[in-house]
Structure 1
Amino acid sequence: MTIKEPSKKIVIVGGVALGAGAAAKARRMDENAEIIMIERGPYVSFANCGLPYYLGDEITDRDALLLNTPESLKSRFNIDVRVLEEAVELDRAKKLLTVRKVDSGEQYQLPYDKLVLAMGAKPIIPPLPGIGLSGVFSLRTVPDVDQIKAWVSSQNAKRAVVIGAGFIGLETVENLASIGVEVTLVEKAPQVLPPFDPEMTALALRELDKMGAEVILGDGIASFEGVNRATTVTLESGRKLEADMFLLGIGVRPENGLAKQAGLELGTAGALQVNEYLQTSDPDIYSGGDMAEIIHLVDGQRRWIPLAGPANKQGRVIGVNVCGGQEKFLGAQGTSIVRVGKATLATTGFAEKTARALGLNFFTSYNTAGHHAGYYPGAKDMTIKLMVENPSGRLLGAEVAGREGVDKRVDVLATAIAAHMTVSDIAALDLAYAPPFSAAKDPVIMAAMAAENVQHGVIDVVHSIDDLPAEDVNVLDVRRDDEVIEGMLPGAINIPLDELRDRVGELDASKHWIVYCRSGQRSYFATQLLKRVGFPHVYNLSGGYIVQEMKQEVLSRQQQDEAGHSKEHVAAR
């Protein structure tokens, strides 16, 4: 059999989702291409999203994290994988890559026809005093988690400070707590999970409390102290925290050193500019994943969205296009989900604060419902927040917080955003129903119907009892007597919904009334009743008592932290 000459040389710098995916797809497209992967670390394809769960022994098999090895990629796809080699210089004119062997420092030049930059992102390590001391870690790679696990064992670590309350930070807190480590979580922003709107993080705060984790918000780190290893971190407020180990989860930034050296065009976030085919400003160089800006599906603008899902899909697109294809990557919308204890929080599209910062014309709507039929045992509350464009009703974003079924609902809403659906379209969806799985009106349907009522003016809503002038407003609580024992909003009077028709004469129809119940559904019924009997100024409190509790919980936590920081500043002086 005659061996064909390679059709082209494809060089891929970096592995994991983007690089390994591009290599495998390129081989499926072209059997004769020479495909070479360069990887600075010892592992070319691993599940970095699984690292916190390996740290906490929820994943017990370390090898399960290694999705592909150089040997498996060679035997299955005939890909030449070179680990512990680093691309240090790129000559675009000559189409030459200078590669350095990590162990020996030896360098060689590697020509290419098509080049893929898939180095991803690197952890943010601020240049703070003491940050280079042993005992200060980041969690990004398999060697990172190996070092952390070895440190926990060798140092018998019992106390940890996790810095950064994003997705990885919270997953790290949960998994350290699960192996008996006492954790303090520090976040410079005034909330955990900064991509979410603040009130939607209340459930995460409750779960962190149950884990025994101390949460410090609105405070950054200033320095680390220690002799042979870090033993103390000093916060910007002056507060000092002692621990056996410190984990940085401040965030990541694109690994763009090689791209900058080669003069490739960068976007505002420092990530590479790529077109719809994922070509950089050099048409023979492709990139994506954590290294590149992509189209955001909500508004069509280019943004940096460093998530594993889009990166995997982009690897496939690049694999096609380096072999002569013309496949487009349409974009992403930041769909994310995280587990914190027994709670799950998910988001897709724009948060309210993002839509507001962009100056969009929109409204928000909340709805809380059980994740399956209420009469079937075990139904758990799920709160859905929708961001809806005015006047079209198009869904711009959604956030979901609950204990069960959150993943299903956020995926439906993510699909709706990608399809440019309105809340009326979503309310009309035909979703699966059986009592163990959902209600006849799924929480997604209920949330869309509530938003549809707002859009069409069926109901007037407010989001706080402070939204209207206090002198003009009365507040009506239509919950049952047994529910108001939990507490009432300031100044509210209680008439249960089932008694309202007979007791409406007790209310002054000339006043403005804000009506609320537990979740917003019964108060919707109440507002409609009051309007029909001649009350002209009636408003439903969106999300009801549940959302007000969430807002107050987060606000109280922020105020406690602010008070604590002030005391620390005084003590430091």
Structure 2
Amino acid sequence: MNPGKKKRILIVGGVAGGASCATRARRLCENCDIVLFERGPHVSFANCGLPYFVGDVIQSEAKLLVATPQLFRERFNIDVRTETEVVAINRETRMIEVRDLRSGEVDFEHYDALVLATGATPIRPSLPGIDLPGIHVVRTIPDSRKLKAAVSNAGSAVMVGGGFIGLEMAENLAGLGLKVTVLELANQVLPPLDPEMAFYVAERLQTCGVQLRLGEAVEAFTAKEGGGLSLQTSRGSAIESDLVILGIGVRPEVSLARKCSLELGERGGIRVDEFLHTSDPNIWAVGDVVEVKNRITGEWQLMPLAGPANRQGRIAASHIIYGFRCKAGQDAPPPLTFDGILGTAVCEVFGLTVATTGVSEKALRRAGIEDFQAVFLHPGHHVSYFPGAKPIHMKLLFSVRDGRILGAQAIGEADVARRIDVIATAMMQDATVYDLEEFELCYAPQFGAAKDPVNMAGMIASNVLRGDLALANWNDISNTDALILDVRSPAEFDAGYMPDALNIPLETLRERLAELPVDREILLVCGVGQRAYYAARTLKQAGFQVSILSGGMQTYRTFVKSTDVAG
């Protein structure tokens, strides 16, 4: 680039995407003029920490500030202008119109490259009473400050929405002593999960005193005489509460993009390419405002996560500087590319860690993908003989054609995120279940097992693909004509069993083969799946038609009881 002429990079919005873009651009170009405009009072803050600030887990508001305008100026020589709104973009002249929200003054700024990191806004449905006092959203530090003040005088709260943020808020409000109700339109909490996995979370919420109202929507709000609110629901009932928090999702803030006729996608976000380039050659977009491609299904979707937003900011900055250098006739390495997302996410609910990556079973079916299998397993987070072992409930989805990993969900009290992170890393490299069974992972009794849960998931799935193990579909057992054979001990069987199941303990199975039909399919079940697998190998080699019910009675419990929770 010509040292005598500075290129101007203007960034609209801070937080994760915009702030990352600004600092990456500075690291690549000391001579560029970089200005970041932020409508709110804070340029970079920990959005994910807001529920914990409301719940007094994070007691200082200052702890939520990742970086200040002063830090941007002194460390990076970046001009940050907070409480400043960009109100219009002139693509032909490459000018933006800027309004100072404190003084009302309007100014115009020229750009060589413009980055939109305008984020997303909380959804506030057009319902009667939606603007009444006492109805809150939690998206910014000022939002959380208002809610924190309201909570100090409240005894009850309704969380509308049972997603990640909604459940984190429910936990924090309950921790402050409030009576909490979660109202969720879907028949399960955490809609990104499959229902039988979300069951564990619903069970923990109810155990900890949170009332769940699933499959139910709010239709109107009314103010109560003397204070508080009443929510009228789709089931014709009323819920009374001191305050309400809306957590039903966010939508991309695309007003600027729409006004200047940038291309938007079907999901309502800005459409970008692998370099985060918009339909305008001089404008990029990053973060919650853009649509991204799912790496598994190839579908466009919205994914408001901090990790992808940070990566997008870095990639956009790299592409901008690469373009500047190429136009100046300088050599430059090819820029990074953004090749889509897996949707890796984690949250904690009353001590229960919930993590997911890739696509759920229901999302695969929605995308028209049917050639997959699911395995369930319930290993300890470390070996059982070492004190303190906790179960991890896992579901792994994989392609039956080539073993490619399509998704994984895991829930437990210890080391859950680590296992999902390993699987997510494998998926980024297009690994298969055969790779999972071969992974060399850390082992010591207090950390894992010689066969780590990740290895175990890979081994079970690989056994299926090699033909060593056939799986029955849990969704079909209510209509099956097969014999259900339970190979647990008599004591375990008597404590609870599937309807019409025959009990033959694994230890006596070989002596009792004559009791089994050779012309009828046999579905094997045990506690968590291991003994059923051993039995399946024995019976298959003896000529029987056998499949196992993956995950055993532990998984059966979730399929049966998840419908009870939803009701």
Letter in 2 for 1:195: P
Question: For 1:402, which of 390, 395, 412 is the aligned residue?
Answer: 412
Letter in 2 for 1:43: H
Structure 1, 320-329 or 108-117: larger mean CA deviation: 320-329
Q: How does 1:21-420 map to 2 (within 5 A)?
A: 21-153=20-152, 156-226=153-223, 230-324=228-322, 326-360=335-369, 361-420=371-430
Residues 478-537 of structure 1, C-alpha deviations (whole Å, 9 max, x = no match):
1123423431111112222122222333333333211101111110101111122232x2
Residues 162 and 249, structure 1, Cα contact 8 Å, conserved in 2: yes
Quote the Cα distance in structure 1 between the aligned partners of 2:339 and 2:475.
42
Quote the Cα distance in structure 2 between the aligned partners of 1:140 and 1:6.
39
Letter in 1 for 2:563: L
Residues 390-436 of structure 1, C-alpha deviations (whole Å, 9 max, x = no match):
21111111111222111111011111111111111211111111111
Residues 346 and 356, structure 2, Cα contact 8 Å, conserved in 1: yes
Quote the Cα distance in structure 2 between the aligned partners of 1:131 and 1:532.
65
Residues 121-174 of structure 1, C-alpha deviations (whole Å, 9 max, x = no match):
110011111111111000000000000011122xx2010000000110000000
Quote the Cα distance in structure 2 between the aligned partners of 1:58 and 1:505.
62
Residues 356 and 408, structure 2, Cα contact 8 Å, conserved in 1: yes
Quote the Cα distance in structure 1 between the aligned partners of 2:559 and 2:306.
31
Query: Secondary structure at 1:365's aligned position in 2?
Result: strand
| Structure 2 unaligned spans of 5+ | 324-334
Q: Which residue does 1:567 correspond to in 2?
A: none
Query: Secondary structure at 2:539's aligned position in 1?
Result: helix
Quote the Cα distance in structure 1 between the aligned partners of 2:492 and 2:100.
68
Residues 465 and 475, structure 1, Cα contact 8 Å, conserved in 2: no
Q: Which residue does 1:527 correspond to in 2?
A: 536
Query: Secondary structure at 2:16's aligned position in 1?
Result: helix
Question: For 2:444, which of 414, 429, 434 is the aligned residue?
Answer: 434
Residues 224-245 of structure 1, C-alpha deviations (whole Å, 9 max, x = no match):
1016865111112221111111
Residues 87 and 98, structure 2, Cα contact 8 Å, conserved in 1: yes
CA distance 1:222–1:357, change in 2 (3 Å): same
Quote the Cα distance in structure 1 between the aligned partners of 2:418 and 2:542.
40
Structure 1, 500-509 or 238-247: larger mean CA deviation: 500-509
Quote the Cα distance in structure 2 between the aligned partners of 1:460 and 1:110.
65
Letter in 1 for 2:382: H
Quote the Cα distance in structure 2 between the aligned partners of 1:553 and 1:110.
59
Residues 389 and 396, structure 1, Cα contact 8 Å, conserved in 2: yes
Residues 69 and 79, structure 2, Cα contact 8 Å, conserved in 1: yes
1:59 positional shift:
1.4
Quote the Cα distance in structure 2 between the aligned partners of 1:291 and 1:92.
19
CA distance 1:5–1:43, change in 2 (3 Å): farther
**Pair 1:541-2:549 in alignment:** yes
Residues 2-44 of structure 1, C-alpha deviations (whole Å, 9 max, x = no match):
xx75621111110100011111111111112111111111111
Quote the Cα distance in structure 1 between the aligned partners of 2:4 and 2:146.
44
Quote the Cα distance in structure 1 between the aligned partners of 2:72 and 2:510.
72
Residues 337-384 of structure 1, C-alpha deviations (whole Å, 9 max, x = no match):
111112111111111011111111212111221111111111111122
Letter in 2 for 1:546: Q
Q: Which residue does 1:571 correspond to in 2?
A: none
1:191 positional shift:
0.8
1:105 positional shift:
2.7
Letter in 2 for 1:328: T
Quote the Cα distance in structure 2 between the aligned partners of 1:312 and 1:342.
28
1:109 positional shift:
1.3
Residues 25 and 316, structure 1, Cα contact 8 Å, conserved in 2: yes
**Pair 1:455-2:455 in alignment:** no
Query: Secondary structure at 1:37's aligned position in 2?
Result: strand
CA distance 1:187–1:72, change in 2 (3 Å): same
Residues 385 and 400, structure 1, Cα contact 8 Å, conserved in 2: yes
Residues 476 and 492, structure 1, Cα contact 8 Å, conserved in 2: yes
Q: Which residue does 1:424 correspond to in 2?
A: 434
1:331 positional shift:
2.1
Residues 394 and 421, structure 1, Cα contact 8 Å, conserved in 2: yes
Quote the Cα distance in structure 1 between the aligned partners of 2:389 and 2:458.
20
Residues 465 and 514, structure 1, Cα contact 8 Å, conserved in 2: no
Query: Secondary structure at 2:474's aligned position in 1?
Result: coil
Residues 188 and 199, structure 2, Cα contact 8 Å, conserved in 1: no
Q: Equivalent pairs: percent with the same residue? A: 45
Q: Which residue does 2:330 correspond to in 1?
A: none
Quote the Cα distance in structure 1 between the aligned partners of 2:291 and 2:211.
35
Quote the RMSD (CA, aligned, Å). Answer: 1.7
Residues 448-481 of structure 1, C-alpha deviations (whole Å, 9 max, x = no match):
11111112221221133844854x3221111123
Residues 86 and 100, structure 1, Cα contact 8 Å, conserved in 2: yes
Question: For 1:446, which of 443, 456, 476 is the aligned residue?
Answer: 456
Residues 298 and 418, structure 1, Cα contact 8 Å, conserved in 2: no
Quote the Cα distance in structure 1 between the aligned partners of 2:275 and 2:223.
50
Q: Which residue does 2:505 correspond to in 1?
A: 496
Query: Secondary structure at 1:432's aligned position in 2?
Result: coil
Quote the Cα distance in structure 2 between the aligned partners of 1:256 and 1:486.
57
Residues 6 and 34, structure 1, Cα contact 8 Å, conserved in 2: no
| Structure 1 unaligned spans of 5+ | 561-573
Aligned residues: 553
Residues 132 and 223, structure 2, Cα contact 8 Å, conserved in 1: yes
Quote the Cα distance in structure 1 between the aligned partners of 2:240 and 2:565.
22
Quote the Cα distance in structure 1 between the aligned partners of 2:176 and 2:478.
49
Residues 381 and 402, structure 1, Cα contact 8 Å, conserved in 2: yes
Residues 136 and 230, structure 1, Cα contact 8 Å, conserved in 2: no
Residues 18 and 286, structure 2, Cα contact 8 Å, conserved in 1: no
Quote the Cα distance in structure 2 between the aligned partners of 1:223 and 1:245.
14
Query: Secondary structure at 1:370's aligned position in 2?
Result: coil
Quote the Cα distance in structure 2 between the aligned partners of 1:227 and 1:425.
59
Letter in 2 for 1:296: N
Q: Which residue does 1:475 correspond to in 2?
A: 484
Residues 297 and 364, structure 2, Cα contact 8 Å, conserved in 1: no
Query: Secondary structure at 1:461's aligned position in 2?
Result: coil
Quote the Cα distance in structure 1 between the aligned partners of 2:271 and 2:126.
28
CA distance 1:311–1:486, change in 2 (3 Å): farther
Structure 1, 483-492 or 440-449: larger mean CA deviation: 483-492
CA distance 1:545–1:210, change in 2 (3 Å): same
Letter in 2 for 1:552: V
Quote the Cα distance in structure 1 between the aligned partners of 2:428 and 2:64.
31
Residues 298 and 417, structure 1, Cα contact 8 Å, conserved in 2: no
TM-score, length basis structure 2: 0.95
Structure 1, 503-512 or 351-360: larger mean CA deviation: 503-512
